[in-house]
Amino acid sequence: GGAAHRAAAHRRAAPPLRHLQLRQAAAQQRPRPRAPDGVEQLEFLRLQHQRHAHPRDRADALVSTGLAALGYNYVNIDDCWSYVKRGNKGQLLPDPKTFPSGIKSLADYVHGKGLKLGIYSDAGVSTCQVRPGSLHHENDDAALFASWGVDYLKYDNCYNLGIPPKERYPPMRDALNSTGRQIFYSLCEWGQDDPALWAGKVGNSWRTTDDIQDTWKSMTDIADKNNKWASYAGPGGWNDPDMLEVGNGGMTFAEYRAHFSIWALMKAPLLIGCDVRNMTSETIEILSNKEVIQVNQDPLGVQGRRILGQGKGGCREVWAGPLSGNRLAVALWNRCSETVNITMTLPAVGLDGSSAYSVRDLWKHETLPANVVGTFGAQVDVHDCKMYIFTPAVSFSASW
């Protein structure tokens, strides 16, 4: 929502106890004790709403650019899709100016492209842009979303009457489940009540922070905050550090490459936030890196985390996370103000210090000519990130 309305909603909210779109890794909501089935480890990437393009145009662009084939298969509508008030029967109404043919026809169009449709609502009396919220209307609204063919719900936190998130978010989970339709449930309570500690039983993902901005400072701050909750994420329930700013112009190519690398390593939902109809070749290069996407989509589903920081302020960072097949993803991230060498010992990231590993460079798309033993390092440009996969030359057991 807009900054002014978001600030107003914060003032109206209860004092916080403290804290794909997203990686999508479940086809159902989370209250069931069994593991979610269906498309458990597929379809995690989505396209974030862009107010400068109609969702039909964005769906077309996802297909024509080849992004849909890489897994970016959700087209999500954000705030302002609905009319300013409910209908005579209390139902939500699409804004007739923006969606004159309604949401179901849009869903049919998106589904016809082999994609899925996401929609937005709010766990308050109004959305952040002061359209009708779903608080106390959960069953009716969920049934309406299901009847339209919606596949994903982003559920925001504005104008919440001071009711704690733990009370406001479960009713929509139950309402979505009662529809019988598989609808991915994305909680967006801005990390106010440490959702990583409780939202695993409520939704499929949860925002761990407030809205991201298209700046280096915002992106790095959010990466650090999301990193704190790494151990609480896994298949069926993901930490969501907000959408990708790649391609919006506020950061350098190196910074955007780092942004994408770290979000992928953290198994974050990968939601494109730029205009996919007008991407530069650099933006396409980053968003379409299949090898980095595969790290994000790895079936093991373990969130990578920061392992160590070296130098002044710890700005020479090593991030890592285990992958399926006894592999390990490693990111060397330079958050310093100058080009630096970043080195690590293999035991520092849980590898055997005496074993040999084949190392794949995911941005150069090449395997290093010699196996690595004991230590590893590389020169990394300012604010850039190099990303690798370590595969044992012989079998090993990592200490994760």
Stretch 332-351: mean pLDDT, rounded?
Answer: 98
Q: What is the pLDDT of residue 370?
A: 96
What distance in Å separates the CA atoms of residue 343 and residue 353, rounded to the nearest whole number? Answer: 14
Is 79 assigned a catalytic role?
no
Please state whether beta strands 316-323 and 372-373 pair in parallel, antiparallel, or not at all (unpaired).
Answer: unpaired
397 pLDDT band, cuts 50/70/90, is: low
Q: Which CATH superfamily is domain 304-392 in?
A: Golgi alpha-mannosidase II (2.60.40.1180)
- Tens of pLDDT, residue by residue over 103-153, are 999 999 999 999 999 999 999 999 999 999 999 999 999 999 999 999 999
Provide, rounded to the nearest whole percent, the portion of the chain with pLDDT above 70: 85
Q: What is the pLDDT of residue 398?
A: 56
Is 156 assigned a catalytic role?
yes
Q: What is the pLDDT of residue 369?
A: 96
What distance in Å separates the CA atoms of residue 118 and residue 78, rounded to the nearest whole number? Answer: 8
Active-site position among 156, 194, 242, 384: 156
DSSP 259-303: HHHHHHHTT--EEE-S-TTS--HHHHHHHT-HHHHHHHT-TT-PP
Residues 352/346, Cβ–Cβ less than 8 Å = yes
Q: What is the pLDDT of residue 54?
A: 86
88 pLDDT band, cuts 50/70/90, is: very high
- Tens of pLDDT, residue by residue over 352-361, are 999 999 999 9
Res. 21: pLDDT tops 60: no
Stretch 30-59: mean pLDDT, rounded?
Answer: 45
334 pLDDT band, cuts 50/70/90, is: very high
35 pLDDT band, cuts 50/70/90, is: very low
Q: Where are the domains of the chain?
A: 41-297, 304-392
Res. 1: pLDDT tops 70: no
- Structure-token pair, residue 165: 């998130």
Q: What is the pLDDT of residue 25?
A: 30
Res. 38: pLDDT tops 60: no
- Structure-token pair, residue 120: 């937005």
173 pLDDT band, cuts 50/70/90, is: very high
The angle formed by the CA atoms of residues 62, 273 and 259, to the nearest 5 degrees, is 110
Active-site position among 211, 221, 275, 352: 211
CATH number of 41-297: 3.20.20.70
- Tens of pLDDT, residue by residue over 176-196, are 999 999 999 999 999 999 999
Q: What is the pLDDT of residue 59?
A: 95
Biggest CA pair distance of the chain: 72
Query: What is the overall mean pLDDT for the chain?
Result: 88
Q: What is the pLDDT of residue 235?
A: 94
- Hey, how many other C-beta atoms are within 10 angstroms of the C-beta on 163? 13
Q: What is the pLDDT of residue 29?
A: 32
Q: What is the pLDDT of residue 400?
A: 58
- Structure-token pair, residue 114: 């082999």
